[in-house]
Chains A and B, each alone.
Chain A
Amino acid sequence: QLQMQESGPGLVKASETLSLTCTVAGGSINSIRYFWGWIRQSPGKGLEWIGTVLYTGVTYYNPSLRSRVTLSVDTSKNRFSLTLNSVTAADTAVYFCAREVDDVAWGRQGTFDVWGRGTMVTVSS
């Protein structure tokens, strides 16, 4: 069964860079059938999609975060990463990684079926 695990610092200083990694176990990241996403959840803004990356490195970003976000993938280590620049207190949230499936028979599902447990990131002033 596929499992996803986020890792990275729990505390980041304002104006600095947040970096998180999602390691995938129990399955390969290396498939055109999967879209690998980052979502965050804060009390003030609820669930917010950050971006999605394919194993090829193709990326899609939330326009509201596009200028500060970079997603990348490392197929050799079966993981993908998030970098968010110039963080502020508004970036304090639980960050989740998740997977969307492009079903062979029926096409994309458009929703995330497997999620990591999430990691809390606090931005300090």
Chain B
Amino acid sequence: DIVVTQSPDSLAVSLGERATINCKSSQPVLYGSTNKYYLGWFQQKPGQPPKRLIYWASTRESGVPDRFSGSGSGTDFTLTISNVQAEDVAVYFCQQYRGTLYTFGQGTRLEIK
């Protein structure tokens, strides 16, 4: 089974600071014929469905502020939120696709210090 582990489980940052969330897959994340990784990042606020922020590991969803960025390759990926704002308080998930299976990380809770 593929296991996707996020770190940390929670973090608190000051407004305007940077938040970094890591996502590690137990197997290399698949990429397609165009060399794009099947790895996405989601933001979830209470009572709402997950909202996709990033796909193909680093492609920002339309309308998502550019303070959100994704990077990584192979088994290790990162979501960086620069200049954290109050509205960024949420739980963040990574999700990968491989071998017809979709697997989510356990989530990282972002709070404001």
Binding site for B on A (CB under 8 A): 37, 39, 46-49, 52, 60, 62-63, 96, 98, 106-113, 115-118
Contact = CB atoms under 8 A, between A and B. Distances in A.
A97 to B, nearest CB: 10
The 5 tightest CB contacts between A and B, nearest first, are A110-B38, A111-B40, A110-B97, A115-B49, A47-B104
B10 to A, nearest CB: 14
B107 A46 contact: yes
Contact of B93 (A37, A47, A63, A96): A47
B34 A109 contact: no
B40 A115 contact: no
B55 A110 contact: yes
B65 to A, nearest CB: 17
Given A107-B34, A108-B32, A113 B107 contact: no
A62 B49 contact: no
B17 interface: no
Contacts, number: 76
Given A108-B38, A110-B30, A110-B39, A47 B100 contact: no
B97 A111 contact: yes
Nearest to A4: B49
A113 B52 contact: yes
A111 B55 contact: yes
Contact of A46 (B34, B61, B104): B104
Contacts of A49: 101-104
B50 interface: yes
Nearest to A106: B34
